[in-house]
Amino acid sequence: MSLTRLAAMGCLVIGAATAALAAEPVAGLRAPERLTAGSADEFLGSAGPDGATLFFVSNRNATAQVFTQAPGGTPTLVFDEGADTSFPRVSPDGKRLAYLSTRTDATGDVCIRTLPDGDRRCLTGPETAETAAFWFPDSQSLGVVQRHGMQGDLQLRRIDLQGHDAGPVIAETGISSPALHPDGQWVAWVPVERASQEVGIAFSMRPAEHLRLARIGQTGHQDVVLPLPGVTGFPAFAVNGQFLYFSQHLSDTNQDGRIDGHDHSVLFRIRFDASTAHPLDGTRPEQLTSAHWNCQYPAPTRDALLTTCEVDGSLDVYRLPLDGALSAAWSAAKLREVHDAVRNPWEQLLVLSHVFRQATTAADRMAVLREMTRIHLQLGELTSVEFYAHEATRLLAGDAPIAAWSAVVLEIVAHRMDERRLAGGTLDDRFLAAQRDRVRRLGQWAKKVGAVRDLAKLAQVEVLDVMGEEQRAVALLQTVPISQIADSFTLFFYADKGLYLLRALGQREPLLARLAELASHPVLEGAERLDFAERFVAELGAGVGVTQRQQRVAAWLPKAEPEGELAFRLTLESHLLTLNKGNQEAVRAALFQLYKHHDQPERRRALVAATARRAAELDCADLLYQFANTWVSQVPATHPERDAAVALYRQVGLDKAWIHRADKQLGDARGTFWGLTLQTDDLEAHAGFIEARLAEGKSDVLELYRNRFPADHPLLHFAQAWLLARDLAQPAASSARASALDLAEDHARLAAMTVSQSTGLSQLRGYLRHEQYLLHGNRQAGIEAVEHYQMALDLAQGRPRYQAALLSNLGLLQAELGNHALALGLLDRRQQLPARDAGEALSRALARARSLHHMGEAKGASQEAERALALVAAKPELADRRWLTVDRTALMAYAAGHAVRAQELYGELLRHAPPQADGALEAANKLRWTLMAAAATARAGDARQALLLLGDAERQLAALRTDDLATGASVTSRTPPLTRDDVAILLNGLRAESARLASEPELALSALAARLMGQQTAFHDTDDEDLLLDLAETELRIAAVHRDLGHTAEARVHLENALGFTAEYQKRNGSVAPDGRIALVRAYAEGLLAGKLGATPAPPALLAALRDVYAFLCERANPAREHDRFWIGLYLTLFDLDSKPPANPAGGVP
Amino acid sequence: MNRTSVLRLALSALALLTGCVTTAGSGEPEPHFSSLYADYLSNCRQCHAPGAVGATNTTEKSLDFSTQATAYASLSGNASGLSGNQQSCNSVPFLTKGNPGTSLVLAVLDAPTRSAFDLTTTPGCDTNAISDMTIKVGKAPSAAFITALKTWIQNGAAND
């Protein structure tokens, strides 16, 4: 059974149960639906005229190409341009596709192709650079943004399908990402201007902070300043023309000092009335997405909004409702419910932007605005904070407390901006002077009465801390009693800066005391107090064991207000700290009492989440399920929490099932998995069920699926493919395996025709392609397996079980493909995740050892192999893989120079490895181990014992049949299996070396002569030029023995022979300085200069070779060869001077 | 018999022939257990049946939805074998004929019934202890089904 296949299959079914409770779904919001997937970037999505077929750009094949994808289907390359392409746009009549091409013009051309796969024609040429194009409604003309030459400005022209002007120039300067209203009359764009007059706009431009509108055919334009912070981009009109969509970079999210396309983007829309002269007047933008999703390039269709979003560094095309993540029809009450449910700060900002739009009084708007300001401040999005601080004074102009609050907030922003600008974080005099002024100014506010006083003091605390005046900052902090702070903005600022300072100074008790105060502060809402209680508990337990945590909780509990959030959270913690696998029922009963006693939703939610987390960590399957079930049973179906509760319930269900599986409670595992398959089409549940059912010894899986699903159902196909795939791990004739594999791939393909974007299916298809590669050595199948695995990995975000399995499989596959650096990276990533399956861990360790070995890290490889061996020793279930692991470990030890350890391990293999069913394989293995044992023994210093082992090996070789050595050879290996002659050559080389070490030069010479003869025959048979270097090396070794015996003439003959072989090698492939030739010419020269080859001048062939090699090493400087270059240069000088050689030069004839 | 009576009689006969009996005054078809079982309750046999592939150690032990007959028979009994947060509902009847509000079978399928569930005999079996079984089934029953179930219980929960 193949080690790799076994590991891959094991990986599929046993995962890391404790890590799954990671991602929480977006509560109450409509998250973007992902349409594309893959390890590459997929972006710039737009719809065809049917509104459903997707066109997008992908760089999956290294260049940017246009793909199309039917709903639920898989992507298809539309055409191969042979160059980067972008901005695909289908004409309104659906007959043509316009796009930007760089095939013949690196600055871009507008080209069109007739759909589906017709002619290509470019409408512009190399004299202009095109940056954008859109269709006019007539499908006979396009709007094109272009510039002439480097200094030219960006103009918007209308051209026909021959590339001729189809009207006057629409706009003369500064056009960027234009959009045409569906009535063909209005065009909108983001103006760009030269950042410098000295260079063209192509080199240096900056976007204006407004949108520009123009009516086609009329002069003039309108500039529309949107009431938003940041920079606008990519306007796009709704299909019905009633909205203008755009992306907005609201803030400097990457904190590089400027807002640009590298910052996270948010989508907005604004109502557009084309019937009026000023279509955007009096309307306010509506936020559609959260900055967390980083979406841009809006492309509205009739019934959905297509966009490109970035998740974990990967771009993909997504779809949203036209009114975005929040329904435009939601009431203020519904928005408030959603607001209370969301936890992610960017999503909170999204909801708040809608609450703000619906607020009817200035006071309500101000409350929202302050909350948004607070969140932006916590996120470090200073541009937004600045914007909203100014907005506040506009909203309540003349309100003194607001003006004061705004002034202090702007001081905080200015301070943080100053700090970001510090070079390398080093304080300089200018900075310090500016901050002293700031502290003084803030001091004026700190003398006032009211809310601004405390905020100003806290701002001073922050500035003083940054200036290095921590003690002064702490003293000032003590003058701000939390209990007297009367507004939540200041309380959160305290929590951010005050607590940070106390933690940084190691003042743990004051820190806990402040957190406790925040966790019971009446100004805060219950959920906010609970958040602080959560932080309190985390701080309380940081860095200590369970017993100490229990003591600390017990000490703090009496101090907390009995019915408050802190007491609740401490009580919860006190129960959870007692949890273990044996007392789940007792802990459950106590927690249920607590649950029933506290009916506030946020407390119950906290109890459920904390309990599930702890139960999963401790593999407490029964408890894990209880509260997720109770919670989901109580959250109403229409509540924003519902989706999160259902998702938690299902995550918990999967975890519970896997824990049962790991605990060998097969009935519970099977039943739980089956239950999950009723609730979701998640293939992890189906795979888990199939495995659990089979583990129960039942053979009715296929029958169950056939009874449940119609014959063409994708889940039935999946089950059939899975069952066939798992049988591949069983021994079978290769023809039977090949048939089963083909059939499994057919089923998987059929399943994929209707199930797209599935992690489980991509994983299975990757596994089957992987198997094809292993079975037939078909490298293309291996590459396709990588693509499927990568696709699955891309879809497995937030699913550590899948990630673990996929990283492991990918790492093993890349190692098999010889991509060892990639393999190591993947296996290292896998190592970061929990592991439960010892077999999979062993496969990974062995693959890591192999890849390290191939990367030239012999010692690391040996250590990894030893770890694998230790794992085998510790896990009885790995007993059947012990001897394979010993074999690999012995080889790695030998390669790392650990001769004694290698000798010991090969000895163990020879003495104790059990007989194998395949006699030929056993004989081949025994011969290999004997040879390696001899090599290790010689290297360990026992040359005579090595000679005895070699004699044994010779007898084994004589008894082998010709084909025996090929038994067990992998079809994926890129080196052919050894022949009997190859082994004989190897054996004679080892014998010669051992004889030399044993001071038996005649035996060494005879072995080398036999080796030479074998190599000559091989060369004659194969004409393999690499054998010329092997022949040269053997001649050199023969020369060395003769030299040691004082046979200088014979030594010189063999050295000349060796030179002849290297010259022939150079003649055939032009390689001047392979390692063997460098060693040879150095050895020959040193022998002559040291007088060990007789008193004769250097022969011309040697001098010519020395000069060739020297010139090559001088031309191609290589630090690793510098040593050789130095000595060869010296030898040439000495030969030229015909003087005596230096005494005892480094190196020498071996 | 006057003309109206004849017409009523004729309509009643037609209704009996087609199996379409209406609830008095509602105009809605009168529900039968057979249709309730076919419409939704048969889904429960995935877990609640002898040897059901979806059953686990914590699955309620007395219910058997294998057939309409076993479903009715087991629903006529009391819950047993419930554990954990649900254990307070052991011994609670699945059906209280004439009173949907105290019928556990309705409470596990209908959120309003669940949140108002209150039995003096077993006070622990309340909204906190009753599971939402629609999650397990994987699809929520229609509002019409819930109405029909309530009506069927209200009408005496006959085995029809």
Per-range mean pLDDT, top range of A9-18, A542-551, A754-763, A966-975: A542-551
* Residue A864 CB neighbours (<10 A): 25
pLDDT of residue A422: 83
Taking an 8 Å cut-off on Cβ atoms, the answer to whether A675 and B56 are in contact is yes
Task: Note whether B140 contacts A626, CB cutoff 8 Å.
Answer: no
Which structure tokens are listed for A1128?
């060869």
A213-227, A251-265, A300-314, B124-138: which has the highest mean pLDDT?
A: B124-138
Does the pLDDT value for residue A731 go beyond 80?
no
Higher per-residue confidence, A859 vs A281: A859
Query: Which residue type does A636 have?
Result: P
Query: Percentage of chain A with pLDDT > 70?
Result: 94
In terms of Cβ atoms closer than 10 Å to its own Cβ (0-12, 13-18, 19+), residue A900 is middle
Using a CB–CB cutoff of 8 Å, tell me whether A916 touches chain B: no
Q: Which two tokens stand for residue B64?
A: 């058997």
Q: Which two structure tokens, joined as six digits, stand for A374?
A: 């607070």
> B81: which chain A residues are within 8 Å (Cβ-Cβ)?
none
With a cut of 90, say whether residue B9 has pLDDT above it.
no
Name which residue leads in pLDDT, A1090 or A286: A286
DSSP state letter for A140: S
CA distance A1001 to A264: 75
Coil, strand or helix: which one is A334? helix
Q: What percent of chain B has pLDDT over 70?
A: 82
Confidence of residue A147 (pLDDT cuts 50, 70, 90): confident
Which of B53, B114, B140 lies nearest to residue A704, judging by beta carbons? B53
Residue A798: the pLDDT is 80
Q: Does A627 touch chain B (CB under 8 A)?
A: yes
Mean model confidence pLDDT for chain B:
85
Distance of CA A104 to the CA centre of its chain: 34
Partners of A247 in the β-ladder: A233, A267
Q: Is the pLDDT assigned to residue A203 strictly greater than 70?
A: no
Asked if pLDDT for residue A933 goes beyond 90, the answer is yes
Q: How many CA atoms lie within 13 A of A1130 on its CB side?
A: 15
The SS3 assignment for A301 reads coil
Say if residue A55's pLDDT is above 50: yes
Chain A residue whose CA is closest to B126: A596
Which of B47, B114, B140 is opposite residue A675, by nearest beta carbon?
B47
For residue B10, the distance in angstroms to the closest alpha carbon of chain A comes to 44
Instruction: State residue A23's pLDDT score.
Output: 37
What's the whole-number mean pLDDT along residues A182-187? Answer: 92
Determine whether the interchain pair B111/A667 forms a contact, defined as Cβ–Cβ distance below 8 Å. no
How much is the ipTM here? Answer: 0.86
Q: Express each pLDDT in A574-588 by its tens digit.
A: 999 999 999 999 999
The whole-angstrom separation of Cα A493 and Cα A286 is 28
- A649–B47 C-beta distance less than 8 A: no
Range A333-354 average pLDDT: 90
Q: For residue A197, what pLDDT is reported?
A: 57
**Residues written for chain B:** 160
Across chain A, what does the average pLDDT equal? 88
Average pLDDT over residues A163-169: 83
pLDDT range class, residue A365, cuts 50, 70, 90: very high
Distance separating alpha carbons of residues A1020 and A113, to the nearest angstrom: 57
Question: What letter would DSSP give residue A203?
Answer: T
Contact between A667 and B57 using a beta-carbon 8 Å cutoff: yes
Q: What is the pLDDT of residue A181?
A: 95
- The answer on pLDDT for A942 being more than 60 is yes
Looking at residues B115-127, what average pLDDT do you find?
A: 91
State residue A488's pLDDT score: 92
Q: Rounded to 5 degrees, what are φ and ψ at A455?
A: -65, -40
Residue B53 three-state SS: coil
Instruction: State the pLDDT confidence band at A387, using cuts at 50, 70 and 90.
Output: very high
Q: Flag if A678 and B54 touch (Cβ within 8 Å).
A: yes
Bond preceding residue A116 cis, omega within 30 of 0: yes
Contact A693, A716 (CB under 8 A): no
Residue A678, chain B, CB below 8 Å: the answer is yes
Pick from B53, B84, B127: which is nearest to A634 by CB?
B127
Which residues in chain A have Cβ-Cβ distances shorter than 8 Å to B135?
Answer: 632-633, 646, 649, 679
Q: Which residues of A touch B109 (CB under 8 A)?
A: none
Residue A512: per-residue pLDDT: 95
* CA-based nearest residue in chain B for residue A698: B53
Encode pLDDT of A599-615 as tens digits.
999 999 999 999 999 99
Residue A1073's pLDDT is: 76
DSSP A498: I
The whole-number average pLDDT for the span A113-130 is: 86
How many inter-chain contacts (A to B, CB under 8 Å) are there?
75
d(CA B89, CA B127): 10
**Closest Cα to residue A956, out of A988, A977, A925, A913?**
A925
CB contact under 8 A, A680 and B138: yes
Rounded mean pLDDT, A208-227: 86
Q: At what angle do helices A734-754 and A714-727 cross, to 10 degrees?
A: 160
The C-alpha atoms of residue A957 and residue A964 are separated, in whole angstroms, by: 10
Residue type, A456: A
The secondary structure of A212-274, three-state, reads EEEECCCCCCEEECCCCCCEEEEEEECCCCCEEEEEEECCCCCCCCCCCCCCCCEEEEEECCC
Average pLDDT (A260-280) is 90
- A595 interfacial to chain B (CB closer than 8 Å): yes
Looking up tokens 């399920």 gives A625
Point out which residues pair with A212 in neighbouring strands.
A189, A223
- How far is Cα A936 from Cα A945, in angstroms, rounded to an integer? 10
Q: Which backbone phi and psi does A399 adopt, to 5 degrees?
A: -80, 115
The whole-number pLDDT of residue A195 equals: 59
Tell me: pLDDT of B54 over 70: yes
* Selection from A134, A135, A89, A85 nearest residue A105 by Cα: A85
- The share of chain B scoring above pLDDT 90, in percent, equals 73
Q: Please, are residues A803 and A795 in contact by the beta-carbon 8 Å criterion? A: no
pLDDT given at position A967:
63
pLDDT of B22 > 70? The answer is no
Q: Using 50, 70 and 90 to split pLDDT, how confident is the model at B100?
A: very high
Residue B64 binned pLDDT confidence (cut-offs 50, 70, 90): very high
Interface touch B131/A585, C-beta < 8 Å: no
Which residue do the tokens 């959905």 mark? A304
